[in-house]
Amino acid sequence: MWTFDNPPTKLLQERYHFTPTREWLDHVRLSSVRLNDGGSGSFVSPHGLLLTNHHVARGQLQKNSTAEKDFIKDGFYAATPGEEMKSPDLEVNVLVSMENVTGRVMGAIKKGASDQDALSARKAITAQIERESTQSTGFRSDVVSLYQGGEYWLYRYKKYTDVRLVFAPEQQIAFFGGDPDNFTYPRHDLDMAIFRVYENGKPIESRNYLKWNAKGAAENELVFVSGHPGSTQRQDTMAQLGRERDVFEPTILSLLKNRIDTLKAYSALGPEQARQSTTLIFGLENSQKAYLGRLRGLLDKNLINKKQKDENAFRALVMAKPEWRTSYGNAWDDIARAENKATPMVKPQIFHRVDSQLFNTALSLVQYVAEVKKPDGERLRGFHESQLESLRYRLLSPAPVYPGLEEARMAGGLEESRRQLGANDPFLMAVLNGRTPAQTAKDLSAGTKLADPNVRKALLEGGKAAIDASTDPMIVAARKVDPLSREMTKWMEDNVESVETQAGEKIGKARFLVYGKGAYPDATFTLRLSYGAATGYPMNGTKAPYKTTFYGLYDRASSFDFTGPFYLPSRYMEGRSKLDLSTPLDFVSSTDIIGGNSGSPVINRNAELVGLIFDGNIESLAGDFAYEGETNRAVAVHSAAMIEALRKLYNAGTLADELQGTGQAGSH
């Protein structure tokens, strides 16, 4: 998970006799995109075609679907430009520049400042850098903390919001095998979707796209993944991992279980309810399986013993040198104390939530009108000047809202919060206001007008006065929750975040001094380059192959008699004889990825697209805490499978031609 300013050139040369040039790196970076729905993607044609996963595109498919037309179930293909379908609230970012601003950020913190003062100063300078950059360049500008604060970088993004769907297959083939097969391998999914990015009403034209290589990667071939891993905790101290394992993970797993149970009950009410809730359930089950895998990793004695050994060795080296000891030696104990302090707050933090799309919108509106009045550097996270445009885009989304779904989620979530926190919890008292969870959910979902984007717009534009005057029950509840939420944020900043940021920075600096910069920083949903080989691994007593084929898809479906999550869309049942079943379908590589990498391109040393990352295997789930190369594998759709399916099953030869740079591409 290397940053593009510091690729592992030495390792690559040693292991693969390949050194990426600056042009290679720039081209790959500018061909890679981040999506605000939480995934990655890449440009794959000179006319703005953007390849990502079905499960990344899924939110937009859900928002464009209705009771009559279900794009999740049936898929979508725009055979002509005019049919391409606008996404309600998708934003695409391309990393156009990176600037090291470590000196400026660190220079803003006074020597000897308290942890709290340092945090404020850091927030202020960060907001200032971002604001100045946005104003001077027009680009979305983020200051990113890397190496636990060992470095700060200003990342500038070109932003696109006119993103139209060109192709998505049926959900059942994109996610064949469902929750059981999720995070496993061998796998048989066509988890792909293709958008086209527009600017000023026209498809963008660019040289920065990845050429398609339908041969894919040979076994053991060097491949790269360029994408946006969301977050890892590989540099966390043992104290942090301990709280993660003992407190945080079990608590979040209770929350997820409750939400899944709630939604499954709602889904069982009828086909329309099932349609409305399917993407939420998918996301929650995905999280549940991921958290269970993380927890398994944290409970793995080998993994934990190794991390403890590494930490002991690192600390011993720091303590052995008097000036290091003085400057950095206390960082681990500081973190341990902060973790102890944070422990009792985990439950309230996690259960002080109202599981409702509109409630969260309401809270954002209430906070928005207050925050924008403050100096940029003093605002809550997410409300800085440079972030407002994307925030407004999201808050004013025209995506549909389902009151029945809202009510069910709120009722189930508030019940669980009450079970977990007791009825006297101040947050619950504020939200429930003497009512039962069910009644509260009913009142809020029935009474609110926030489903209408114009109502939200009026409140946003009306500012604090409009918010204060609103009698919308969601706004009323959000106004009550707001001070409690701010109080919690402040407490966490003062007692935990400020301490751990300072201590983390010390550890980050110490790591540079002790080990040099021969490592990559933890993932931060910023662009990274991973490398590895297309290669199988030992599995369950035998070998997992480096690739699967369409044969395997039909085998797995037949093996389960086409039941449960193993049925095939009719297109696949009827179209079988059109396919060359030996075509590779999915494949694995030892590239290091994590959630957020979904949709990332897999490329070869010629920067050609050979695959599309969509998952990790079950062994990869401990990757949040450590990368273990023997069995950790990234799972990708094979470039050949996408072409085979488009041409033979979807009558999408035109699209395949554009991807492959053959035929009459360029007609757009």
Q: How far is the CB of 35 from a second copy (least distance, A)?
A: 26
Collapsing DSSP to helix, strand or coil, 122 comes out as helix
Instruction: Specify the residue, 303 or 539, whose C-beta has the smaller distance to a second copy.
Output: 539
Instruction: Specify the residue, 454 or 559, whose C-beta has the smaller distance to a second copy.
Output: 559
Q: How far is the CB of 327 from a second copy (least distance, A)?
A: 44
User: Which of 102, 44, 49, 98 lies closest to 78, judged by CA?
Assistant: 49
C-alpha to C-alpha distances, 29 to 158, 637, 652, nearest whole angstrom = 12, 21, 28
Q: Which DSSP symbol is given to 386?
A: G
Instruction: Specify the residue, 452 or 580, whose C-beta has the smaller distance to a second copy.
Output: 580
Q: How far is the CB of 279 from a second copy (least distance, A)?
A: 21
CA atoms within 13 A on the CB side of 255: 22
Instruction: Specify the residue, 570 or 662, whose C-beta has the smaller distance to a second copy.
Output: 570
Written in H, E and C, the secondary structure of 507-572 is: HHHHHHHHHCCCCCCCCCCCCEEEEEECCCEEECCEEECCEEEHHHHHHHHHHCCCCHHHCCCHHH
Q: How far is the CB of 56 from a second copy (least distance, A)?
A: 22
Q: How far is the CB of 544 from a second copy (least distance, A)?
A: 9
Environment class of residue 526 by beta-carbon count within 10 Å: exposed (0-12), middle (13-18) or buried (19+)? buried
User: Which of 290, 299, 303, 292 lies closest to 594, judged by CA?
Assistant: 290
Q: How far is the CB of 559 from a second copy (least distance, A)?
A: 3
Query: 149-168 in b/e burial notation, b at 16+ Cβ within 10 A?
Result: bbbbbbbbbbbbbbbbbbbb
Q: How far is the CB of 561 from a second copy (least distance, A)?
A: 7
User: Which of 640, 585, 583 lies closest to 609, judged by CA?
Assistant: 640
Q: How far is the CB of 584 from a second copy (least distance, A)?
A: 8
Q: How far is the CB of 555 from a second copy (least distance, A)?
A: 4
Collapsing DSSP to helix, strand or coil, 187 comes out as coil
Q: How far is the CB of 397 from a second copy (least distance, A)?
A: 35
Instruction: Specify the residue, 427 or 537, whose C-beta has the smaller distance to a second copy.
Output: 537
Q: How far is the CB of 618 from a second copy (least distance, A)?
A: 3
Q: How far is the CB of 301 from a second copy (least distance, A)?
A: 11
Instruction: Specify the residue, 463 or 545, whose C-beta has the smaller distance to a second copy.
Output: 545
Q: Across the chain, which distance is largest between two alpha carbons, in Å?
A: 73
Task: Specify the amino acid at residue 468.
Answer: D
Q: Which DSSP symbol is given to 605?
A: T
Residue with tokens 């390849």: 51
Collapsing DSSP to helix, strand or coil, 193 comes out as strand
Question: What is the rounded distance in angstroms from the CA atom of residue 75 to the CA atom of residue 173?
Answer: 10
Question: Which residues sit at the interface with a second copy, rule CB under 8 A?
Answer: 177, 180-181, 183-184, 186, 219, 289, 293, 539-543, 545-549, 551-552, 554-556, 558-561, 566, 581-582, 617-618
Question: What is the rounded distance in angstroms from the CA atom of residue 477 to the CA atom of residue 363?
Answer: 8
Instruction: Specify the residue, 80 or 540, whose C-beta has the smaller distance to a second copy.
Output: 540
Instruction: Specify the residue, 169 or 216, whose C-beta has the smaller distance to a second copy.
Output: 216
C-alpha to C-alpha distances, 79 to 52, 71, 82, 86, 291, nearest whole angstrom = 19, 15, 8, 15, 40
Alpha helices in 225-248 (DSSP H): 238-243
Q: Are 598 and 56 in contact (CB under 8 A)?
A: yes
Question: What is the rounded distance in angstroms from the CA atom of residue 548 to the CA atom of residue 531?
Answer: 21
Q: How far is the CB of 251 from a second copy (least distance, A)?
A: 23
DSSP string, 279-322: HHHHHHHHHHHHHHHHHHHHT-HHHHHHHHHHHHHHHHHHHTSH
Enumerate long-range contacts of 311-316, CB under 8 Å, 24 or more apart: 311/237, 311/238, 314/510, 314/511, 314/514, 314/515
Instruction: Specify the residue, 5 or 219, whose C-beta has the smaller distance to a second copy.
Output: 219
Q: How far is the CB of 99 from a second copy (least distance, A)?
A: 42
Q: How far is the CB of 552 from a second copy (least distance, A)?
A: 4
Collapsing DSSP to helix, strand or coil, 204 comes out as coil
Q: Give me the count of residues in the chain.
A: 668
What is the DSSP pairing of strand 528-533 with strand 76-77? Answer: unpaired
Question: What is the rounded distance in angstroms from the CA atom of residue 26 to the CA atom of residue 97?
Answer: 10
Instruction: Specify the residue, 224 or 566, whose C-beta has the smaller distance to a second copy.
Output: 566
Q: How far is the CB of 577 from a second copy (least distance, A)?
A: 11
Instruction: Specify the residue, 318 or 579, whose C-beta has the smaller distance to a second copy.
Output: 579
Instruction: Specify the residue, 521 or 616, whose C-beta has the smaller distance to a second copy.
Output: 616
Question: What is the rounded distance in angstroms from the CA atom of residue 353 to the CA atom of residue 349?
Answer: 8
Instruction: Specify the residue, 520 or 537, whose C-beta has the smaller distance to a second copy.
Output: 537
Instruction: Specify the residue, 164 or 188, whose C-beta has the smaller distance to a second copy.
Output: 188
Instruction: Specify the residue, 219 or 310, whose C-beta has the smaller distance to a second copy.
Output: 219
> Measured in Å, how far apart are the chain's first and last C-alpha atoms?
35
Question: What is the rounded distance in angstroms from the CA atom of residue 576 to the CA atom of residue 574?
Answer: 6
Contacts of 475 (CB under 8 A, 6+ apart): 362, 365, 366, 450, 459, 467
| Structure token pair of residue 16 | 């693969």
CA atoms 435, 440, 442, 444: torsion sign = positive
Q: How far is the CB of 57 from a second copy (least distance, A)?
A: 24
